[in-house]
Amino acid sequence: MAKEKTLNIQECSIWTDAQKMLEKAERDGIETAWHRLKQQTPHCNFGETGVCCRNCTMGPCRISKKASVGVCGADANVIVARNFGRFVAGGAAGHSDHGRDCIEALHAVAHGQTKDYTIKDEKKLFRIARELGIETEEKDVLDVAKDLAAEFFENYGSTKNQLSFICRVPEARRKLWDKLGITPRGMDREIAEMMHRTHMGCDNDAPNTLLHCLRTCLADGWAGSMIATEISDILFGTPRPHKAKVNLGVLKEDHVNILVHGHNPIVSEKILEAVNDPELIALAKEKGAKGINLAGLCCTGNELMMRHGIPMAGNHLMTELVIITGAAELIIVDYQCIMPSLVQIASCYHTKIVTTADKARFTGAEHVKFEMHNGLEQAKKVVRMAIERYTLRNPDRVEIPSDPVDIMTGFSNEAIIDALGGSLTPLIDAIKAGKIRGAVGIVGCNNPKYKHDYCNVNLAKELIKKDILVLATGCVTTATGKAGLLVPEAKELAGPGLAEICGLLGIPPVIHMGSCVDNTRILQLCALLANELGIDISDLPVAASSPEWYSEKAAAIGTYAVASGIYTHLGHPPNITGSEVVTNLALSGLDDLVGACFLIEPDPFKAAEKIDQRIQQKREALGLK
Ligand code: XCC
Ligand code: SF4
């Protein structure tokens, strides 16, 4: 492959496993995201600032000194707001369609349409059903599941005035949303309305469009994603703390290595079952391997790690590099964050890419469609393919670059409350006493525009030093895990107060709470704390951050966090800076409206300072030292 510009590999990633694989990539003549980014820079300024509109064929139009409005008369503010609206609608659609797949799974189990999936956490099923006002007295498990699935389906339609889990939101916040007209109604409805509003000739008032961005994203946070998390716990078990391992070193040279990549545990859970099938293990041994090794990538990796301690090979920017080890027999994917380049890179090795969802097919990959009635059978088929691939592996091309790092995972809210002895009181006391000064959820992705994981790791390190508890999800899990922050011993790196609490509870200063849909665990935790204290979420000494974000989903998450009252840091802005109105609203105006706004800061050390100041203000407003 042609290489126009060479990489400075030391500047690409903070990790030696990544650097070694980038060196091997160059030796093997492979292009990665870092190489392709070079070819794409400098980026188009119109696109970057959000002032390019392609919403009709009188255009495309772009705003410049020469032309301050498009053909229809839309100015930069309208165009930017519309583009951002469609951007977050894409993210909300991703999470919520994943949620819908979970509801369909619950529905299929409840109606006896599958033997491959069951209810693993009946207690949680009943608890959530009761929480949502579903009659459970003397009712059979499957009947409760039927009613809960039906209730969740309703959350996607147009018959509700508000989503079911709004019952979790503190009253002050609910009133505020009502007043602003942003109480989310139906998941699909808000997304469709966003598409409608942004059609030429509809919502041509940027602040008004932005309000609907908040509403659409709130639907994601309090329905689409939250439903995905809760059903995943019901079907596959609510996570409990346990140990796991992380980085490319989790691959095994003498095993058949299978990686799961994507988001929905409906596929990865069955692969986990299949790799433990004695017949398949025997087959792997027959082919000369010592066994079958399963590892995760990105969010479905988080799901398997949270529930079963399956090791994590890497985050977003490691997904190409894992193939370059030459030791990956097969990567099975469902949807979201799967670079199309994986197919091209795999073709240079013996690695097979298998897709499973009709809505996410990749040219050149093998498609094995997973459905509720055949999940296990398909999983076994895929594992058999991986074993066959092992015989094609070229040992001379194998390089597994590092030893894995230990981590602790499995912190669902249920597990956190158990660890605290049954209530949130000890946590609240620690916050009041200033031992834990506040909490920050660091979430999201990698982006080759940054030195890989530099901001993710350094922000976490700086915050824990300041006695701020960090909650990690998504691709930040792997980052903080590799940095050694996800083990109880990392308390040594924390400030004295946080270190003391970590020591007492035997927990790390950075707590792993799951995948990206599981950011709703953090949302729920904030709501529980606020309700317990009788205040609004925006009064809590908490913040959110996505330092190295890239996706539409991450923007939707940031937006629902802000709309829920959580101050949110991003390493770089979305493509909105071409509009003063939208930028000012995002960076300050929203603070007056919803009690939170965005902070943009690429430097993790400065970001930590600013987040710390905000937390300090919140503490003072609550009368805490
Ligand atoms: Fe994707 Fe969820 Fe981002 Fe990672 S953190 S790159 S969105 S896998 Ni969600
Ligand atoms: Fe141009 Fe307006 Fe059409 Fe957008 S909607 S492409 S600004 S004419």
Domain boundaries, given as residue ranges, for the chain: 76-236, 248-397, 409-621
416-427 pLDDT tens trace = 999 999 999 999
Q: Which of 305, 607, 317 is nearest to 486 (CA)?
A: 305
**Contact criterion met (CB below 8 Å) for 473 and 522:** yes
Q: Ligand 2 pocket, 238 CB below 6 A?
A: no
Q: Is 291 left (phi over 0), alpha (psi -120 to 50) or beta?
A: left
Q: Ligand 2 pocket, 58 CB below 6 A?
A: yes
Closest ligand to 548 CA?
A: 1
User: Which are the contacts of 61, defined by CB distance < 8 A and separation ≥ 6?
Assistant: 52, 53, 67, 70, 71, 72, 74, 79
End-to-end CA distance of the chain: 59
Report CA(62)–ligand 2 centroid distance (Å): 9
Phi, psi of 563, deg, nearest 5: -65, -25
Report CA(68)–ligand 2 centroid distance (Å): 12
**Contact criterion met (CB below 8 Å) for 76 and 204:** no
Count of positions (residues) in the chain: 625
Q: Ligand 1 pocket, 299 CB below 6 A?
A: yes
Residue among 54, 57, 58, 69 to mutate when testing ligand 2 (max atoms within 8 A of CB): 58
What is the pLDDT confidence band of residue 625, given thresholds at 50, 70 and 90? confident
Q: Ligand 2 pocket, 481 CB below 6 A?
A: no
What is the pLDDT confidence band of residue 195, given thresholds at 50, 70 and 90? very high
Give Cα separations from 525 to 216, 415, 416, 499, 570 (angstroms): 21, 12, 10, 21, 21
Q: Count CA atoms within 13 Å of residue 251 on its CB side.
A: 30
Looking at domain 248-397, its CATH class is alpha beta
Nearest atom, ligand 1, residue 444 CA:
5
Give me the helices (H) in 291-391, please.
298-308, 321-324, 341-346, 375-390
Report CA(297)–ligand 1 centroid distance (Å): 10
Residue among 299, 342, 522, 545 to mutate when testing ligand 1 (max atoms within 8 A of CB): 299
Closest ligand to 78 CA?
A: 2
Question: pTM score, two decimals?
Answer: 0.97
Look at strands 468-473 and 510-514 and give their pairing.
parallel
**Sign of the CA dihedral running 539, 543, 544, 545:** positive
Q: Which of 502, 484, 512, 487 is nearest to 415 (CA)?
A: 512
Average pLDDT over residues 621-625: 94
pLDDT at 3: 45
pLDDT at 6: 81
Q: Ligand 2 pocket, 241 CB below 6 A?
A: no
- Answer whether 248-397 and 409-621 agree in fold: yes
User: Which are the contacts of 475, defined by CB distance < 8 A and separation ≥ 6?
Assistant: 298, 299, 315, 316, 444, 445, 446, 456, 548
Closest ligand to 546 CA?
A: 1
Q: What is the DSSP string of 420-474?
A: TTSSSHHHHHHHHTTSS-EEEEE-----TTS-BTHHHHHHHHHHHHTTEEEEEET
Looking at domain 76-236, its CATH class is mainly alpha
Average pLDDT over residues 581-605: 98
Nearest atom, ligand 1, residue 336 CA:
1
Q: Is the pLDDT of residue 512 over 50?
A: yes
Q: Is the pLDDT of residue 2 over 70?
A: no
Q: Ligand 2 pocket, 200 CB below 6 A?
A: yes
Report CA(30)–ligand 2 centroid distance (Å): 40
Nearest atom, ligand 2, residue 56 CA:
3
CATH architecture, range 409-621? 3-Layer(aba) Sandwich (3.40)
Give the angle 25-27-28 at the CA atoms, nearest 5°: 65
Report CA(21)–ligand 1 centroid distance (Å): 21
Q: What percent of the chain has pLDDT over 70?
A: 99
pLDDT at 572: 98
Q: Ligand 2 pocket, 67 CB below 6 A?
A: no
What secondary structure letter does DSSP report for 388? H
Average pLDDT over residues 52-66: 98
Residue among 57, 68, 72, 82 to mutate when testing ligand 2 (max atoms within 8 A of CB): 72
What secondary structure letter does DSSP report for 541? S
Place of tokens 């459970």: 136
Name the residue with the closest Cα to ligand 2, atom 7.
70
Q: Is the pLDDT of residue 4 over 60?
A: no
Average pLDDT, the chain: 97
CA–CA gap between residue 413 and residue 98 (Å, rounded): 21
Report CA(579)–ligand 2 centroid distance (Å): 16
pLDDT at 5: 60
Closest ligand to 264 CA?
A: 1
534-579 pLDDT tens trace = 999 999 999 999 999 999 999 999 999 999 999 999 999 999 999 9
Nearest atom, ligand 2, residue 73 CA:
2
Closest ligand to 298 CA?
A: 1
pLDDT at 280: 98
What secondary structure letter does DSSP report for 619? H
Closest ligand to 60 CA?
A: 2
What is the pLDDT confidence band of residue 117, given thresholds at 50, 70 and 90? very high
Give Cα separations from 513 to 266, 521, 523 (angstroms): 19, 7, 11
Average pLDDT over residues 31-37: 97
Report CA(197)–ligand 2 centroid distance (Å): 14
Average pLDDT over residues 126-138: 97
pLDDT at 614: 98
Name the residue with the closest Cα to ligand 2, atom 2.
72
What is the pLDDT confidence band of residue 1, given thresholds at 50, 70 and 90? very low
Q: Which value, in Å, is the radius of gyration of the alpha carbons in the chain?
A: 24
Q: Which helix (H) or strand (E) holds 600?
A: strand 598-600
Average pLDDT over residues 457-472: 98
Report CA(246)–ligand 1 centroid distance (Å): 16
Q: Ligand 2 pocket, 86 CB below 6 A?
A: no
Using DSSP's 3-state secondary structure scheme, residue 509 falls into coil
Q: Ligand 1 pocket, 337 CB below 6 A?
A: yes
Report CA(474)–ligand 1 centroid distance (Å): 6
How many other CB atoms are there within 10 angstroms of residue 368's CB atom?
17
475-488 pLDDT tens trace = 999 999 999 999 99
Q: Ligand 2 pocket, 80 CB below 6 A?
A: no
